[in-house]
Amino acid sequence: MDVPTRWNSTFLMLDSTLPLKEAFGRLEQIDRNYKLNPSEDEWKVAYIVHDCLKKIYDATNHFSGNSFPTSNVFFPDICKLQLKLKEWENSDHDFIRNMAGPMKEKFEKYWDECCLVLAIAVVFDPRFKLALVEYNYNAIYGENAKKYVDRVRSAIVDLFVEYGGELNPSFGYACGSDVEESNFTGANKESDDISDVMFSNFDKWYYRSKSSTIRDYEKSELQSPISLLDIERRTTMDSSLAYIVTLVVIPLSISLIFLIRKRNSSCANLPPGTSGWPMVGENLQFALLGPQKFVNDRMKKYSPEVFQTSLLGEKMAIFCGAQGNKFLFTNENKLLTSWWPQSMKKALLFPEFVENSLKEVSALKRSFMHDILKPEALKQYIPVMDAMAREHIEKEWAPRKEVKVFPLSKKYTFDLACRLFLSVVDPDHIKKLADPFHLVTNGMFSVPIDFPGTAYNGAIKGGKMVRQELLKVIRQRRKELMENKESEAAGRDLLSRMLLVTDEDGQFMSEMEISNNIIGLLVASYETTSTAVTFVLKHLAELPHIYKEVLREQTEIAKTKGPDDLLTWEDIEKMKYSWNVARESLRVTPPAQGAFRESVTDFTYAGFTVPKGWKTFWTVHTTHKNPKYFPVPEKFDPSRFEGSGPAPYTFVPFGGGPRMCPGKEYARLEVLVFMYRIVTTFQLEKAIPNEKIVYHASPVPANGLPVRLQPHGR
């Protein structure tokens, strides 16, 4: 199943865990390092969730534990679960209500794809025919039930027409009008409580409605032979009959699926591709293959321009190549709008301000975010970046013969972000932000099961702590500004400037809006910039001839500086070759793999229709690793960026269009300043020559990129 809805595995986990409640408490007493013992409130929630998920688990067992697991056996359970999810969605318990929302959303995607096939199977079961479908659809759809029942009837007609059957034009509902009243309480001896209640209520409904003139349908050629099989539902069908029903229902159902898809494809020429398994999509393949191979394989199989898949529970069109990038970037805010996966939004942001933060921010506020990150505004931060880089290297690198680059890069970039964005310099205060922030980045792309001890639960808790701490900082700064300290604070950091900006109506940004924006900047600096720094140093350690040229350029700059002088904007502008090296590193190992968008209307691209509501994804690899745009793409060659550089829309580590990463220039300065301090201080040698690269949200050296340090002059 899709990651937000691993209902049965979650139930089994809870079913095994709840009897061990006291053991968790004892473990906490004897092991001081154990910090994950759930609170009493969390245990109460676990018991409630366990009872809810048991109904789903029992329904699954009813189907999978049956000797002949046909759709007609499963249909009543699925309908009951549909009603249960509606009930949970309106629960008085906040946790159950919040849990039920995404569960129902995912369930309905499965239901939309499969309910027609399940209903057809029930109609072909002579014990039920269309009566059971009508009963359940009345419970689920209420006044709209007739429309869905008619859809089932129409599908049956299509099946018979497809196979050359001649139907009576007066073909009516194939209800079991000859079925005698019984006390039957289940379709099968293996049925569970869900089915018992379902069929008991069905009996009452059926015989009440049977006497109504509304149920006086004409018999059709389809109905008549089935009606001859007057089988009481209490009587379990013997193995041979069940086997025959299976042989009939399965091919007819499969045929129906193809008919439906054929009909849909005639209405809209969707991009080629596959959605994978229902509910599962192609998430597993994406994770196992990695983004580059996943996309390349499907470009070869389906289309080099655009193909469809299903990721994160969403129908998705993957756009490929420079033309795909151009189309998405130039149609931002026209055909497309920004979209974040639900797991990221829940872990990172104040949810009540997510839509404003992502879609409806005023033009002035959006312009402001770009203005404060332009080169002119960032020039003043270069000496601060350099001073912090020098201090960081003296403290964390110089005393050691070997270091792990990746964790140290993350520490430097986060410390610097706290200083420049918030003016937070106290190590203890930074730690109060960094520790929970690490939980966030560690779990925001994990399996989103919100249960104590999971990475996703840690991400949500960490996100709450980060937001609470940020609100304290924001409120304190706002207080300073209100006490007429603007002259000291206004130009000091990004937070102060955010507090002072207003929109067209003179309205200030809310504290939660500011928090969401700062969190976005922190994620970019903590994840993507630290990854960029790490892989630049990786390539310098691997390629001595590249390192030599960078050292030559940086040494020329160092000769113009005194021992205590800090870098300036003019120095940065001289680092031409160094920036080409950094850009080539971003091409070969881009920190961000691409970005999602959501279509706001149906549109056509490359002859295919992308429907409204579909998500889109562009990926850096279809151009960065394409020999059409970068000859011999596996070769590390900084000269690609000399002169006019790559063709438009081919080098896209920062995206493009109106939503190009606003921190592009900030990242450039941070990378170049750190390169300068490292290269002029050490020569690097990889401790693990063939260290593997793994992919989470970004590429990560499996062992943290340990390098040996050789200080110059020794």
**Where are the strands (E) in 540-593, listed by range?**
none
Say if CB 76 and CB 132 are below 8 A apart: yes
Return the SS3 of 187: coil
Q: Is 197 within 8 Å of 187 (Cβ atoms)?
A: no
What is the Cα–Cα distance from 430 to 445, expressed in whole angstroms? 24
Locate 551 and state its tokens. Answer: 């050292």
Q: How far is CA 137 from the centre of its chain?
A: 32
Residue 214, class by beta-carbon neighbours within 10 Å (0-12 exposed, 13-18 middle, 19+ buried)?
Answer: exposed
Do the strands 615-619 and 314-319 form a parallel or antiparallel pair, or are they unpaired?
Answer: parallel
Who contacts 345 (Cβ-Cβ below 8 Å, separation ≥6)? 351, 354
Residue 200: other Cβ atoms inside 10 A: 14
Cβ-based neighbours of 387, under 8 Å, separated by 6 or more: 566
Q: Among 21, 17, 23, 95, which residue's Cα sits nearest to residue 52?
A: 95
Residue 336 has phi, psi (to 5 degrees) of -135, 155
Distance CA 675, CA 550 (A): 9
What DSSP string describes 70-92? -HHHHHHHHHHHHHHHHHHHT-S
Beta bridge partners of 332: 336
Q: In this structure, which amino acid lies at residue 608?
A: F
281: its two tokens: 């999509």
Half-sphere exposure of 660 (CA within 13 A, CB side): 19
Q: Is 115 annotated as a binding residue?
A: no
CA 488 to chain centre: 41
Query: Which residues, in sequence order, are CB contacts of 611 under 8 Å at separation 6+?
Result: 268, 270, 315, 599, 602
User: What Cα–Cα distance (Å) separates residue 459 from each residue in 345, 446, 454, 714?
Assistant: 11, 9, 9, 45
C-beta pairs of 400-404 under 8 Å, 24+ apart in sequence: 400/709, 401/708, 401/709, 402/687, 402/706, 402/707, 402/708, 402/709, 403/706, 403/707, 403/709, 404/703, 404/704, 404/705, 404/706, 404/707
Q: What is the DSSP letter of 67?
A: S
Angle CA(576)–CA(581)–CA(587) in degrees, nearest 5? Answer: 125
The residue written with tokens 């067992």 in the block is 61
The dihedral sign for the CA sequence 445, 451, 455, 459? positive
Question: Could you give the C-alpha distances from 126 to 18, 224, 446, 588, in angstroms and in order?
Answer: 43, 11, 46, 62
> How many Å apart are CA 123 and CA 235, to the nearest integer?
18
Q: To which H or E segment does residue 336 belong?
A: strand 336-338
What tokens were used for 326? Answer: 């151009």
Round to the nearest angstrom and report the end-to-end CA distance of the chain: 58
Could you give the CA distance from residue 331 to residue 335 in angstroms, rounded to a whole number?
6
Q: What H or E segment, with its residue span, contains residue 402?
A: strand 402-404
Classify residue 366 as left (phi > 0), alpha (psi -120 to 50) or beta.
alpha
Question: What is the length of the chain?
Answer: 714
Distance, CA of 587 to CA of 581 (rounded, Å): 10
Which positions make up the binding site for heme? Answer: 661
Binding residues: 661
